[in-house]
Every structure is written in C-alpha cells, then in structure tokens.
Amino acid sequence: MRAPSVVPTGVERTFGDDEIIVSKTDTKGRIAYANAVFLRVSGYAEADVVGQPHSVIRHPEMPRIIFKILWETIQAGQEIFAYINNLAADGAYYWVFAHVTPSFDPAGSIVGYHSNRRSPDRAAVRSIDGLYGALHAEEAKHARPADAMAASGVLLAAELAARGMTYDEFVWSVGR
C-alpha cells in the first residue's frame, strides 16, 4: 500500500497505446484483481494492492468530485468513462482514460466493478488537466471534504452548463 510519505514527484509515466490497464474490485472498491500492466505502470506488487482500496493509486490532485460522479454512476448500475490522474508507488503520475462498469450476478445485483484503462489522447489530457486543476484548487479552499466536494460540484456544474453538456458529453468532447 502507498505509504503516506510517498510524495508526487511531478514525473509523468506513460504506457503504450496498445496496452490496457485492468482491475476488478468488490462493491467497496477493494482491489480483487490487477493485471500485469496495472502492476508495472503503478509500480506496485500484486500482494501490495489486492485487498487494498483502489484509492491506493489516487493522485492527491485529482478532484474528489470526479470520484463522487464515478461512484454515483457505477453504483446506479451504469458505466462511466473518465479521465483519471493516478499516482504510482514511486510518486510518478500517469493519466488514464478509464471505462468503469459494474459487474452483476445472475440475479442482477452488483457484485463488484471492472475497469479498463487506456492511454489517453494528449490533447484531451491538456483540456481535462485545466478543468481538474480548477476543481482541485476550489476543493483546497475547504477544510471539510464534504464542503470541498460541494464547492467543486458547483464549479463543475457551472462549467458544464456553460458548455451545454453533461459530464459524459464533456469527456467525449475532449478526446478520442
């Protein structure tokens, strides 16, 4: 698991356009499976991530509101696409274009989540990075996480309204 002493280095790590990072979690977001690409890019050993919350790779500058949207969407049984900035075990960061889907049992109940992540379009990352930077800066103004998320949610809603888009439409408008 990432120790609290791991500090972002500002060094970006990339992975191949033909590679897919895959992970599966339980309904609480604890990692049940991570493929070899996940392990190589994140810099973790399988034993260090299986059973840990997926947030072990959460970059501290990723806006909380994006994860709130992600969780609300997948817990409602829907898929989501999102650009995510992750933090590797050595402090390097890496951007992904994530496709997260719920996994269902035969009765239709959600039993976990599956995520495939590809290398993102660089122009999309530049566009997303600006928005995410503004959202993170807004969140940093608030001591309580709930207040931070509420404030960045208002800012995100205003940005999306100005563009006349939903978050999903925005994600697809910036790349791929």
Q: Which domain holds residue 41?
A: 21-173
Return the pLDDT at 175.
Answer: 73
Return the pLDDT at 176.
Answer: 54
Which position has the token pair 């979690």?
A: 25
**Cβ atoms of residues 62 and 84 within 8 Å:** yes
Please check whether residue 16 lies inside any domain of the structure: no
Return the pLDDT at 3.
Answer: 47
Please check whether residue 83 lies inside any domain of the structure: yes
Give the chain's residues under pLDDT 70: 1-4, 176
Burial class (CB in 10 A: 0-12, 13-18, 19+), 175: middle
Listed residue (124, 97, 118, 8) closest to 61, CA to CA: 8
Q: How far is CA 2 from CA 54, 88, 89, in A?
A: 11, 8, 6
Please check whether residue 116 lies inside any domain of the structure: yes
Please check whether residue 9 lies inside any domain of the structure: no
Which position has the token pair 């609480």?
A: 28
Please check whether residue 56 lies inside any domain of the structure: yes
Please check whether residue 13 lies inside any domain of the structure: no
Return the pLDDT at 140.
Answer: 97
CATH number for the domain spanning 102: value is 3.30.450.20
Please check whether residue 11 lies inside any domain of the structure: no
Number of domains in the chain: 1
Please check whether residue 29 lies inside any domain of the structure: yes
Return the SS3 of 140.
helix
Whether this prediction's pTM lies above 0.95 is answered by: no
Q: Tens of pLDDT along 12-63?
A: 999 999 999 999 999 999 999 999 999 999 999 999 999 999 999 999 999 9
